[in-house]
Structures are given as C-alpha cells and as structure tokens.
Structure 1
Amino acid sequence: MNTTRLRLAGAALAALLSTAPLAVPATAATRIPLPFIGSSASQTGTDTEETFDADGLTLHASLRTPAHARQGVAALLLPGSGPTDRDGNQSGLKADTMRRLADDLAAQGVASLRFDKLGSGATGLAGLPADRLAEFGFTSQVDHAQAAAALLSDRTGVPVDRLVLVGHSEGALTALELTGRGVGHGGIALLAPLPMRYLDLLTAQLNTQLDAAVGSGQLSTADADAARATLKESVSSLRETGKLPAKPDPLLASIGLVHANARFLAEADAQDPLELAAAIADDTPVLVTCSDKDLNISCDQVGALRDALDHTTLRFAHLANASHLLDELGPFPPSRIDPLVPLPESLEFAGVLHEWALGLTA
C-alpha cells in the first residue's frame, strides 16, 4: 500500500504547513472584539448518515439538521489538505474543525453537509486499490464536492446555486473552483484560505522552513540551496508537463513531492485563487479570515485575495489569536505542536462566523 499517498492524499501542504514557522506580526490591523457566542463542544441539531456517488466511487457524509432550521439556507463544508474526514480529522490529528463549523452554523439555524474525503473515514479507499489513488487529482476533489453539493440541495431543497460554501485552508480553493461551476452563490466563507497558486505557497513555506533549518544549524547553506534549486526544477516540471522529475529529491519527497501526488499538485496549482475570486458575482456574501497566529498562511499573504474580492459583499476578519485550525491560542504564542493539542475553538472566530451567518438569506 502506498502509505505516503494515503497520508498526504495528494496535498503536500498537509505535512509542510503543520510545521513551517512564519513570522507573526506583533499587532493586527483590525481586532475583532466580538464576544464568544456559545460553545461548539456539544452537538447542535441532528446528524444523519448519507452517501453519494462521484467518479464511480461512494463517499460517506453527515447531514446536519438544526433543531430550528432556517428555510432556504444550507452550507457545504470543505476541509483542508490531506485525507481529512467529515469532522476535520486525520490519523493522529484530531482537530474537529469541520464538526465545530457544523455546530456553529446549526446554532444559527443553518443546515450543513460534510463528508469523508477519499482516503479518510467511512469513505476510505472506496474499494480502490491503493495504487490507483494517483489517478484522482484536484479536479476529482472538486468533482466530489460538486456531487456533495447536489446531495445537499436534494435534501434541503436549496438550489445548488444558492448554497453556501465554507472552505478551510485548501478547502477554500475547492470552494472557489465550485463557484466557477455555478455552485455556492448564496455565500462563500474562505477560512485561512490559500491566497496564491498552490506551488507558489508551497515554495514560500519550504523557503521559510529551510531558512529556519539553516539558522538553527540543522542544515547547511549548501544543502538548503540545493533543495531550493530542486524545488524550482520540480515546480517548473509540474507546470510544464504535469509530472515531477524522474528522481524526486528525498527532502522534497518528505513533504509530498512524489510521483503519486503529481497530478493533484499540477491540477491544484493550475487554479489561481485571485482569478477565481475576481469572477465571483458582485452580490455574493463573502467571509475571509486570517490570523496573526496562523503559522501556515499569513495575513499579509491573504491581503491580495481580500483585494480580489473587494467587489463582493465582503466581510474581512483579521483575527489576533486563532491558529490555522481555528483553535483558541489566547495570549500564548503559536507553536509547531499546536495541532496536536486539544484546544477549544477560537473565541474571535466563533463571533465572526456567528455575525456573518446571521446575515445569510435565502
């Protein structure tokens, strides 16, 4: 079994972004003083087990029905990179990001659907041999999300074009691509989103990691320069041919730049978030978040995406104390081990989402 493919599920950022340290600004341009609206620790509403078919595969999902559902509003939840299940968890990483979002939205009467991506949860390999996973790239990921949207529309009666899309990290890129397919003009939430082309972000993150390794004496300058050169060659190869060089660099392979992931990386990188954002209809309600304590994606990086969405009904929330997984860090500095610690949901983020969800209409 190709365990590297299963662990990364075609998304190299899953490994890199969880460890790469970024400089954290001392202050935020805009603070979010909203109070905590309520705990997402307990489930709100009822989950119903669902299945749907896409690409000849059967995927498993949960439909969250609030106790007091609002008519005409329903949200599709799209998780970040890697083999992430419907609750936002992976093997060895229990974040519950998607489950918390379902709880938060249900508290505002918004029904939602979340599903186990290929390689995770009840979906698992969906009957595929492991060596066929490389056939399913980013386009397949979007196809699966579009099929999930059709199921959510069928169950709630909300037209596909009026659904709300809530994408976290890489899921934000999936959400943006869905809008180009006519899905999700009821609203789109881009939470700690990928703000640039996939391989550009991967390059920026790896350069940061290499700088830190050199600075700490863990890697020589010569080895770091060699890794940068190989990464540049790999990015060029993926963009020109859709394939990696014949012999991947061991360091790059450790963050997912392997042949099994080439299709996913090439297809994801072909989507420019700024171009997709610029094409969203003017009257679409949009929420974009970033945080000073997100070690994966900085608020400075998200700025260009915010600007590309200025023509929409935009709510931009610059948070102070949320992690990349939307956990509450409070006064403590972010660290590489935060994803492994059972932290509560960010108080700032809960307030922002509450306010934005209240404004969603049929």
Structure 2
Amino acid sequence: MRNVRRWMCAAAVPVVVLAGGVGLTGTAAALPDTGSVILPAGTDEAVTFESGGTVFHGSLRTPDVPATGAALLLPGSGPTDRNGNQTGVAADTLLRTADALAARGVASLRFDKIGAGATGLGTYTPETIGDYGFTEQVDHAAAAAELLAVRTGVGTADILVLGHSEGALTTLALADRGIGGGFALLQPLPMRYLDLLTVQFTALADSGQLGPDADAVRADLPRAVESLRTSGTVPTDLHPVLAQLGLNAANAKFLSEADRLDPPELAQRLAVDTQVLLTCSDKDTQVSCDQVEPLRAALAHTDLRFEHFRTANHALEELGPLPSSPVDTVALFPVSAEFAAAIDGWAAARG
C-alpha cells in the first residue's frame, strides 16, 4: 500500500450513501477494558454501509441510559481505524471518547476509513489510491452523519461532530456544509495542512533525526509545497526522504485539496454561539498550543470551551511527569485525566 499519512496521527474513510436504505449488521460486542480512567460504557453494534461500491465497517455506540444526543467521531491522518489506532500505534482515542460520551447518554458512530481496519482499501488499489482526496473524505463523513441520523433520530444539523487531529479539519469542513450543531476540535490541525507539515518536517531535520539528508530535505520542502499548491502534484525529482514522509504522488491529491482549507477561516464562519470544545496540550509534540492560538481566536464568537492540557500527548494519553517520546506512540498509555474531565464536562453540558 502507499506510504499513507502517519505524521499527525489518524486517517480518513469513504462512507454511506443512504439512497434506498443502508445495509446494517448488528452484533453486540463486549467492550474492552483499555486501562483508562474513562470506564467502558454502552454497547457497540457493528454496522456496515456502502458508498461508491465499498462496504465500510463501523461501530454504533448505544448508551446504557436514555440517549440525549448523537455524535460522529472522526480520526486524524493515516490508516487510523475506528478506535483511533494504526498498526503498531496504540491510542484508543476514539474508543475512549465513545466511552465518555456514552456515560453521559450520547450515542456515537465511529468507523474504519479507507486503508484502515475491516474497510481496507475498498474499491481502491495501491495503484489507484492516489485518486482518493480530502473532498472524498468530507463526502464520506457527511454520509456517515446521515447514517447516524437515521439510526438515532437526531438530525444531521443537530448531531455533535468530534474530530481528532486531521479529523478536526474534516469536522470544520462538515460544519461549512451545515452538518453538526456542536463541535469538538481535539488536538486539531490548526493551520493550512502543508504549513503544518513544513513545520513538522523542518523540526525533524533540525533535531538530527534525518541525519545526512536534513539539508536536502530543507532545500526541497518549499519546492514540494509550491508544486502541490499550484499544480496538485509533487516534483518527480523530489528527495526520496520527503516521499517517504508522505509528500508523494499517492498523497498529492489529498494534500492539495486539504491544504486549500484554512482552519481559522472555517472557524470564523461558524454561527455565533455555536458550542465548540477546543483542546491543546503542552506535551503534544505534533501540534503546539501556540499553533492552536489563532484557531482559538477565530472561535471567539462561538460558545467556546477551551481546554489547555499540561500532561496529555497528541493522542490524549496521560504522560504525567514523563516527556513525550516514541514509546507513548507505540504503547497504550492510560487516557489523559485532563481530557477525561474535559470531555465528560462537555458531554454533560450537551445533555
């Protein structure tokens, strides 16, 4: 499979078209104990739905108490599954969020994107995955919102939409289409996509992690960004390390389309008093609180709940006194106590 986006933590997925009904399969599953301070709550029902010839797989969480709302949960970049995990990368970010919401009576839907979990590549192949773009990702999320509305009776204009990392950009794009009545932007992509990648890749070079290729990566990076923004392609002679990091032909359409959207501009278009939860953390090494600040300012006209965490990593795991490191990416750490309190309080206010 292509070198899919892994740098920000999560991914995207095609979803359902509800014409003529949706194929659903129901299998109640016992929920795993993640070792989280957020306890398992509610019951997952396995659901399948079709879009563009692909069958997508997800989990519809039903609370144990009468439902007070419904939420669509969207992951970040790369082949991240419905729970917020990738192969070799444990986080359970969305699974734990579903637990917290269910405890407050909020039903939720999460699903495996293209390239993730039971959905796999769907109708795409390693040779055609470059045809998958950010616009399709938003289309599929909109279809997922329709499925959630059908199953819960909560209209798409009234559901909650929660996006983690790259998923926050998808969330804002859905809001721009009139989908969602409340939003959570969790450790969000806070600026144009290629601007953030430039910051992240430059940091890799400056830290010595790219070794002797660092100078070549710094030199080629502006050329790659300019090409993606002007033509939607990457130069054929781009340094191979940049291709390995994701700036390659397979990702070009997705990156070009995603980069056209500026999160603060989308945030400014939200209606006055829209209920929004925005988070950042001092120990998030992928998105800093300073980078989130312009997005926070753009949300000043909304009913904003801003949570500045101190000990959570990008995946909203608890680090306590530990620094963020590759270990907390691979291992499943307990959920952030700060996030647990924040999501519980926000969900309680939505009930």
Fold match, TM over 0.5? Answer: yes
Choose which of 85, 108, 126 in structure 1 pairs with 2:104.
108
Partner residue in 2 for 1:67: 64
The CA distance in 2 between the partners of 1:4 and 1:161, in whole Å, is 35
The CA distance in 2 between the partners of 1:92 and 1:297, in whole Å, is 21
Q: Within the alignment, does 1:44 sit opposite 2:41 as a pair?
A: yes
> Is the Cα–Cα contact under 8 Å of residues 69 and 111 in structure 1 kept in the other structure?
no
Choose which of 152, 161, 167 in structure 2 pairs with 1:171.
167
Q: Within the alignment, does 1:296 sit opposite 2:286 as a pair?
A: yes
Partner residue in 2 for 1:278: 268
Partner residue in 2 for 1:4: 2
> Is the Cα–Cα contact under 8 Å of residues 41 and 63 in structure 2 kept in the other structure?
yes
Aligned residues: 326
Partner residue in 1 for 2:326: 336
Partner residue in 2 for 1:81: 77
Deviation, structure 1 residue 132: 1.7
Deviation per CA, 1:176-229, whole angstroms, max 9, x where unpaired?
0000111012x100000011000000001111111111xx8x635xx5333222
Describe the SS at the equivalent of 1:51: strand
> Is the Cα–Cα contact under 8 Å of residues 328 and 343 in structure 1 kept in the other structure?
yes
Partner residue in 1 for 2:13: none
Letter in structure 2 aligned against 1:244: V
Deviation, structure 1 residue 285: 0.5
The CA distance in 2 between the partners of 1:234 and 1:158, in whole Å, is 43
The CA distance in 1 between the partners of 2:66 and 2:312, in whole Å, is 28
Choose which of 4, 7, 11 in structure 2 pairs with 1:13.
7
The CA distance in 2 between the partners of 1:181 and 1:109, in whole Å, is 26
Q: Within the alignment, does 1:199 sit opposite 2:191 as a pair?
A: no
Q: Relative to 1, partners in 2 of residues 1:309 and 1:230: Cα closer, same or farther, differing over 3 Å?
A: same
Deviation, structure 1 residue 326: 0.2
Partner residue in 2 for 1:53: 50
> Is the Cα–Cα contact under 8 Å of residues 45 and 65 in structure 1 kept in the other structure?
yes
Letter in structure 2 aligned against 1:249: H
Deviation, structure 1 residue 278: 0.5
Deviation, structure 1 residue 357: 0.9
The CA distance in 1 between the partners of 2:9 and 2:145, in whole Å, is 28
Letter in structure 1 aligned against 2:156: V
Describe the SS at the equivalent of 2:256: helix
Deviation, structure 1 residue 127: 4.0
Choose which of 139, 143, 156 in structure 2 pairs with 1:143.
139
The CA distance in 2 between the partners of 1:14 and 1:253, in whole Å, is 16
> Is the Cα–Cα contact under 8 Å of residues 55 and 144 in structure 1 kept in the other structure?
no
> Is the Cα–Cα contact under 8 Å of residues 52 and 147 in structure 1 kept in the other structure?
no
Q: Relative to 1, partners in 2 of residues 1:78 and 1:15: Cα closer, same or farther, differing over 3 Å?
A: closer
Partner residue in 2 for 1:266: 256
Deviation per CA, 1:204-261, whole angstroms, max 9, x where unpaired?
1111111111xx8x635xx533322211001000000001112231110111111111
Counterparts of 1:204-243 in structure 2 under 5 Å?
Answer: 204-213=199-208, 219-220=211-212, 223-243=213-233
Deviation, structure 1 residue 15: 7.7
The CA distance in 1 between the partners of 2:71 and 2:326, in whole Å, is 31
Deviation, structure 1 residue 49: 1.1
The CA distance in 2 between the partners of 1:286 and 1:192, in whole Å, is 13
Partner residue in 2 for 1:247: 237
The CA distance in 2 between the partners of 1:172 and 1:56, in whole Å, is 27
Describe the SS at the equivalent of 2:116: coil
The CA distance in 1 between the partners of 2:46 and 2:76, in whole Å, is 21
The CA distance in 2 between the partners of 1:278 and 1:139, in whole Å, is 20
The CA distance in 2 between the partners of 1:264 and 1:103, in whole Å, is 31
Letter in structure 1 aligned against 2:7: L
Deviation, structure 1 residue 39: 2.7
> Is the Cα–Cα contact under 8 Å of residues 8 and 166 in structure 2 kept in the other structure?
no
The CA distance in 1 between the partners of 2:6 and 2:335, in whole Å, is 25
Partner residue in 1 for 2:339: 349
Partner residue in 2 for 1:31: none
Deviation, structure 1 residue 94: 2.0
Partner residue in 2 for 1:23: none
Two-structure CA RMSD over aligned residues (Å)? 1.7
Deviation, structure 1 residue 353: 0.8
Deviation, structure 1 residue 319: 0.4
Q: Give unmatched runs, 5+ long, in structure 2.
A: 11-35
Q: Within the alignment, does 1:189 sit opposite 2:187 as a pair?
A: no
Partner residue in 2 for 1:33: none
Q: Within the alignment, does 1:160 sit opposite 2:152 as a pair?
A: no
Query: Percent same amino acid at aligned positions?
Result: 53
Deviation per CA, 1:79-99, whole angstroms, max 9, x where unpaired?
011111111111111211111
The CA distance in 1 between the partners of 2:206 and 2:286, in whole Å, is 15
Deviation, structure 1 residue 14: 4.2
